[in-house]
């Protein structure tokens, strides 16, 4: 019979302050130092080594061979941090962002590398190729 | 004049009481939730949360199961109608509107009929969970009422010995009360009966030990499993009004003192003042019997609850009744 023991406890609790965090009005509970939040992806650092594709258990990454980068869809992420540990260049980092509710799981916040950006990178690569080829041709022309 | 005094005034009083009690009972429900939350170091919902719940449920889509019969729709309406009819016999700080000789039978009958309609609605839904809940409700209903009936009949009979104009009426508590008898034996008996009534009240509004028929965690809401929308709103309102009425009975028996005499009020204003003071007393009683009891106890099994009600509460009721009757008998 716990009831008689509990009566003074609940009556004392009546006059104490509630031990809760009123989230929308207050800051959320502070997160620890090594908190694993949303993945942030730095496209410029990525060298396309495909380590993250191999190690990811949730299938977040898709390798894009023509530009040698990865496309991400972080709505699938399980926040295990293995891609961050394995990335040799530090292109993948875990941010401290955890308020990720959204009406649309295809929204931009879950796709760090947008298709438009992929196209842009492709165009840049093409231009670089063209420049290289023109230089080659010039060389060949000079040689001839 | 006859029509006015016999029809118009009672109906107006009933409508006013209905408006007041439905609001007060919903507000109490909110205060109760707030208090239990504070007892558990939580903030809790706003005080008017049950009112918002009621409005939300009333505006939602009502789903009728394919297996339901017509009683499924009729039961919540009949239950609420029973509660409203019960208001004219409930002592609320003043003599009930339709108080007459022997209406305690009507009071007990209508109070039990509410549970009966709840059971009918549940077994008409065709859901096995609801049938289990209904069986438990019926079991606990027949176990809890005898103790209360014995106690209330004894008290009314004893008060009748002191000389009242309408014996066995719900209004007699405001002419004489149980503490006036004044002998030590009757005092002890009255204290024992107060315990009986407190447990009966807890089992009547199904809190703490006796939260068995609805049992949210065990049998998926039990009786109310198939109810939704408007019918659920009616049943929730019925439940909170029933809590207020049951507590009103206990307050009228044991703490019937009004305040209008001290302020020299008369007529309608006296009734209103007494009603407000009575509401305060009901809230204090429900705080002890509902909020604290709910916060510190868990649910019993149905067999344990039946055992408790028969072997403990009914026996206490017997002893208390005998102690009160003793001086008259000897």
CB contact under 8 A, B296 and A10: yes
Q: What is the arithmetic mean of pLDDT over B275-295? A: 87
Gap between the Cα atoms of B186 and B324, Å rounded = 5
Q: Let me know the angle formed at the C-alpha of B269 by B264 and B275, rounded to the nearest 5 degrees.
A: 100
Query: CB neighbours of A61 closer than 8 A, spacing ≥ 6?
Result: A52, A53, A70, A71, A72, A83
* Residue B328 CB partners (closer than 8 Å, separation 6+): B158, B161
Do A13 and B40 count as a contact with CB atoms less than 8 A apart?
A: yes
DSSP B295-324: HH--PPPHHHHHHIIIIIIIHHHHHHHHHH
Beta-carbon contacts below 8 Å between A and B: 33
pLDDT of residue B217: 60
DSSP string, B203-262: HHTT-GGG-TTT-TTTSTTGGGTT--HHHHHHHHHHHHHHHHHHHHHHHHHH----SHHH
Provide the pLDDT for residue B91: 86
Cα–Cα distances in angstroms (integers) from residue A13 to residues A10, B30, B113, B286, B288, in the given order? 5, 18, 38, 18, 15
The one-digit pLDDT tens for each residue of chain A (144 residues) are 556 788 888 888 888 888 888 888 888 888 898 889 888 888 888 888 888 889 999 988 888 888 888 888 888 889 898 989 998 888 888 888 888 888 988 887 888 877 777 788 888 888 888 888 888 888 877 776
- Using CA atoms, how far apart are residues B278 and B191, in angstroms rounded to an integer? 20
What local confidence, expressed as pLDDT, does residue A34 receive? 87
Best of B43, B287, B289 to disrupt the A interface (most A CBs within 10 Å) is: B43
**Nearest by CB: A14 against B38, B296, B297:** B38
> How far is B276 from A70, CA to CA, in rounded Å?
71
* Chain B nearest-CA residue for A20: B42
Say whether B42 and A20 touch across the interface (CB within 8 A).
Answer: yes
How confident is the model over B1-9, as a mean pLDDT?
73
pLDDT in tens, B13-27: 888 888 988 999 999
Q: Looking at beta carbons, which residues of chain B come within 8 Å of A8? A: none
pLDDT surpasses 60 at B322: yes
Closest CA to A43 of A138, A125, A126: A125
CB atoms within 10 A of CB A144: 5
Which of B31, B34, B41 to substitute to test the interface with A, most A CBs within 10 Å? B41
- Residue in chain A nearest B297 by alpha carbon: A3
Looking at residue B56, what is its pLDDT?
A: 92
Q: What is the pLDDT of residues B190-244, one digit of tens each?
A: 888 889 999 999 988 888 788 877 766 666 677 888 888 888 899 889 989 999 9
Whether B231 and B73 have beta carbons less than 8 Å apart is answered as: yes
Kindly state the helix (H) or strand (E) to which residue B182 belongs, with its residue range. Answer: none
**pTM for the full model?**
0.84
3-state secondary structure of B122: helix
pLDDT score recorded for residue A3: 63
C-alpha closest to that of B206 among B251, B255, B143: B143
pLDDT digits (tens, 9 = 90+) for B40-87: 888 889 999 999 999 999 898 888 888 888 888 888 999 999 999 888
Q: State the nearest Cα–Cα gap between A12 and chain B, in angstroms.
A: 8
The per-residue pLDDT for range B106-165, each reduced to its tens digit, is 889 999 999 889 888 888 888 888 888 888 888 888 988 898 999 888 888 888 877 778
Residue among A2, A10, A20 whose CB faces B39 most closely: A10
pLDDT one-digit tens code per residue, B264-281: 667 777 778 788 888 888
Model pLDDT for residues B302-311, shown as the tens digit of each residue: 888 899 899 9
pLDDT number for residue A118: 78
B209: nearest CA in chain A?
A: A3
pLDDT value at residue A2: 58
Task: Tell which residue, B229, B310, B235, has the closest CA to residue B83.
Answer: B235
For residue B8, pLDDT beyond 70: yes
What is the DSSP annotation of B29-64? HHHHHHHHHHHTT-----TTHHHHHHHHHHHSPP--
Q: How many CB atoms lie within 10 A of CB A16?
A: 10
Q: What are phi and psi of A63, to 5 degrees?
A: -80, 135
Minimal C-alpha gap between B199 and chain A (Å): 15
Could you tell me which residues of chain B have a Cβ less than 8 Å from any Cβ in chain A? Answer: 35, 37-44, 292, 295-297
Q: Looking at the predicted structure, is the pLDDT value of residue B180 above 80?
A: no
Over the range B27-42, which residues count as b (16 or more CB within 10 Å of their CB) and which as e? bbbbbbbbbbbbbeee
pLDDT band at residue B30, thresholds of 50, 70 and 90? very high
* Tokens representing residue A79 in the block: 């926040």
For A106, the 3-state DSSP assignment is coil
Cα-based distances in Å from B197 to B89, B141, B203:
18, 15, 10
CB spacing of B296 vs A3 below 8 angstroms: yes
């Amino acid at each position: 019979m716990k009831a008689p023991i509990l009566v003074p406890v609940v009556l004392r609790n009546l006059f104490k302050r509630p031990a809760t965090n009123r989230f929308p009005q207050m800051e959320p509970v502070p997160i620890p130092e090594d908190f694993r939040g949303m993945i942030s992806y730095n496209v410029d650092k990525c060298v396309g080594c495909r380590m993250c594709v191999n190690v990811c258990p949730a299938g977040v990454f898709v390798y894009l061979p023509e530009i040698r980068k990865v496309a991400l869809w972080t709505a699938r992420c399980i926040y295990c941090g293995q891609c961050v540990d394995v990335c040799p260049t530090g292109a993948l980092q875990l941010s401290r962002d955890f308020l990720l509710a959204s009406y649309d799981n295809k929204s931009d916040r879950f796709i760090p590398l947008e298709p438009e950006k992929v196209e842009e990178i492709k165009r840049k690569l093409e231009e670089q190729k063209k420049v290289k080829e023109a230089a080659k041709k010039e060389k060949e022309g000079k040689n001839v | 004049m006859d029509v006015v005094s016999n029809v118009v005034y009672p109906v107006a009083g009933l409508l006013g009481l209905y408006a007041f009690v439905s609001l007060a009972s919903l507000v109490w429900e909110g205060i109760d939730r707030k208090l239990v939350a504070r007892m558990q170091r939580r903030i809790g919902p706003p005080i008017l949360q049950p009112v918002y719940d009621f409005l939300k449920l009333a505006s939602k889509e009502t789903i009728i199961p394919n297996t339901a019969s017509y009683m499924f729709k009729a039961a919540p309406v009949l239950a609420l109608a029973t509660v409203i009819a019960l208001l004219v016999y409930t002592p609320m700080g003043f003599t009930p509107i339709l108080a007459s000789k022997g209406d305690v039978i009507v009071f007990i009958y209508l109070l039990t009929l509410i549970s009966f309609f709840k059971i009918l609605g549940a077994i008409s839904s065709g859901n096995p969970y609801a049938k289990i809940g209904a069986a438990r409700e019926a079991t606990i209903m027949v176990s809890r009422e005898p103790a209360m009936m014995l106690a209330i009949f004894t008290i009314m009979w004893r008060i009748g010995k002191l000389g009242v104009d309408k014996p066995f009426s719900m209004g007699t508590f405001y002419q004489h009360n149980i503490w006036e008898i004044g002998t030590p034996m009757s005092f002890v008996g009255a204290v024992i009966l107060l315990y009986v009534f407190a447990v009966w009240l807890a089992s009547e509004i199904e809190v703490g030990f006796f939260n068995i028929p609805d049992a949210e965690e065990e049998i998926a809401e039990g009786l109310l499993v198939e109810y939704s929308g408007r019918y659920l709103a009616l049943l929730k309102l019925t439940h909170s009004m029933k809590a207020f009425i049951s507590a009103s009975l206990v307050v009228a028996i044991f703490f019937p003192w009004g305040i209008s005499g001290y302020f020299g009020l008369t007529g309608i204003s006296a009734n209103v003042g007494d009603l407000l003071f009575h509401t305060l007393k009901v809230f204090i009683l429900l705080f002890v019997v509902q909020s604290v009891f709910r916060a510190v106890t868990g649910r019993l099994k149905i067999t344990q609850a039946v055992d408790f009600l028969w072997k403990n509460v009914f026996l206490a009721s017997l002893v208390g009744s005998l102690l009160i009757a003793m001086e008259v008998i000897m």
